Amino acid sequence: MARPWIDAWHEALYGPDGLYVRDEPHAHFSTATSPGLVEVLASAVVELMRRDGLSRFVDIAGGGGELAAAVCDLAPDLHVTCVEVRSRPADLDPSIEWVRSPGGAALPDALRSLTGALVLAHEWLDNVPCTIAERVGSALQEVCVGTDGTESLAGPVDEAEAEWAQRWWPQGGRVEIGTARDDAWADLVSRLDDGLAVAVDYGHLRQARPQTGSLTAYRLGEVVVPVPDGSCDLTAHVAVDSLVHDRLLTQRELIRELGLVPASPDRAMARTDPAGYLRALAHRSAVAAMSDPDGLGGFRWVLVRRP
Ligand SMILES: C[S@@+](CC[C@H](N)C(=O)[O-])C[C@H]1O[C@@H](n2cnc3c(N)ncnc32)[C@H](O)[C@@H]1O
């Protein structure tokens, strides 16, 4: 039976037999928490925390704990918590706290009144299901989907969604309505009493929305047709400018602002410390990859300082 995309998507990822309940994300795609890149991400996290004197790192949608572990390696004095749908990986550093989450837009009740914390959601919001609609004349009609991926149009979207689309995504035939993501993000921010909330994701701005939408599916490393049957990841880029924010910048801008671009290692080091020289070169390449404006450097960082 066809259901609104937002419901079918939620069930496929977070239902009783959902992809993220069964599987770990990196079985299907890689992110900047992969070896090599994750150290760059961790150094950005630690630098932001040191600048604001924060002592607790909360990794929302922490995957297999890769970023949490890299932050611990870099700054063992920090208190680190991972919030995830799946259960705690057996080999995770015992000092990392693990909190189970319902998934999608919902966060655990235990996560409240956070103080002195940097709360970061790396590639969470793109996996928060949203309403998908198509413009038919001047009306916005909700798109429904069957478990085989066949789409059909239902009635008009609700008033709040129509207003969001009018304000934030006024053009294009297919619209991924951001209200569910805006609300999920605002909910997360409201749980932080004092500190910094950060969302990092691939996103777009009002002046350059994807005109035919961005819903994409990954299965075992390949891009496949989006089907909400629990066999693949379902993701759509985030309309980052509609999220509550104090600052919005690209990853490239942030890495530069934090002074994380290393100088080239001295060539003489290749003779005196060849292993160190290779490590320095590898780190420099990882920073370049994370700053590439046509790749990961184009990721958006959304920052909110509380109170
Ligand atoms: C694209 S993966 C990102 C994982 C990791 N942050 C990374 O960048 O490699 C999305 C992750 O979000 C998790 N997730 C989705 N909704 C969540 C929620 N409400 N609370 C905690 N984790 C959530 C999923 O279980 C999945 O592991």
Residue 28 in contact with ligand 1 by CB distance below 6 A: no
Only one residue has tokens 């760059």, namely 40
In this structure, what token pair is assigned to residue 249?
Answer: 């910048």
Residue at token pair 């989450």: 101
Q: Tokens standing for 177?
A: 């309505």
Q: Looking at ligand 1, which atom is closest to the CA of residue 104? A: 16
Ligand 1, pocket-test mutation among 40, 85, 119, most atoms within 8 A of CB: 85
Map tokens 């996290």 to a residue: 45
In the chain, the domains with their CATH numbers are 3-130+168-257+284-306 (3.40.50.12710)
DSSP state of 33: T
List the strands of the sheet with 300-306, edge to edge: 97-100, 79-84, 56-60, 114-122, 192-201, 300-306, 247-250
User: What contacts 129, CB < 8 A, 6 or more positions away?
Assistant: 5, 6, 7, 9, 10, 13, 104, 105, 180, 234
Which ligand 1 atom sits nearest the alpha carbon of residue 86?
25
Point out the ligand 1 atom lying closest to the alpha carbon of residue 34.
Answer: 9
Ligand 1 in contact with 2 (CB < 6 A)?
Answer: no
Ligand 1: which atom is nearest the Cα of residue 31?
Answer: 9
Q: Ligand 1 atom closest to Cα of 107?
A: 19
3-state secondary structure of 285: helix
- Strand stretches in 251-307, DSSP E: 300-306
Residue 213 CB less than 6 A away from ligand 1:
no
Residue 143 is predicted with a pLDDT of 98
Q: Is 10 in the pocket of ligand 1 (CB under 6 A)?
A: no
**What is the 132 CA–ligand 1 centroid distance (Å)?**
21
pLDDT by position in tens, the chain (length 307): 899 999 999 999 999 999 999 887 788 888 999 999 999 999 999 999 999 999 999 999 999 999 999 999 999 999 999 999 999 999 999 999 999 999 999 999 999 999 999 999 999 999 999 999 999 988 999 999 998 999 999 999 999 999 999 999 999 999 999 999 999 999 999 999 999 999 999 999 999 999 999 999 999 999 999 999 999 999 999 999 999 999 999 999 999 999 999 999 999 999 999 999 999 999 999 999 999 999 999 999 999 999 9
Cβ(81) – ligand 1 distance below 6 Å? no
Q: Cα of 112 to ligand 1 centre, how many Å? A: 19
In eight-state DSSP terms, residue 151 is E
Helix (H) or strand (E) holding 281: helix 274-291
Number of neighbouring beta carbons within 10 Å of residue 302: 24
Q: Whose CA is nearest to atom 1 of ligand 1?
A: 123
CA of 93 to the centre of ligand 1 (A): 19
Q: Name the residue among 124, 112, 117 with its Cα closest to residue 79.
A: 117
**pTM value surpassing 0.75:** yes
Instruction: Tell me which of 33, 58, 80, 84 to substitute to probe ligand 1's pocket, judged by most ligand atoms within 8 Å of the beta carbon.
Output: 84
What is the predicted pLDDT for the residue at 145?
98
CB 238 within 8 A of CB 178: yes
- Is 297 a pocket residue for ligand 1 (Cβ < 6 Å)? no
Question: Of ligand 1's atoms, which has the minimum distance to the CA of residue 21?
Answer: 25
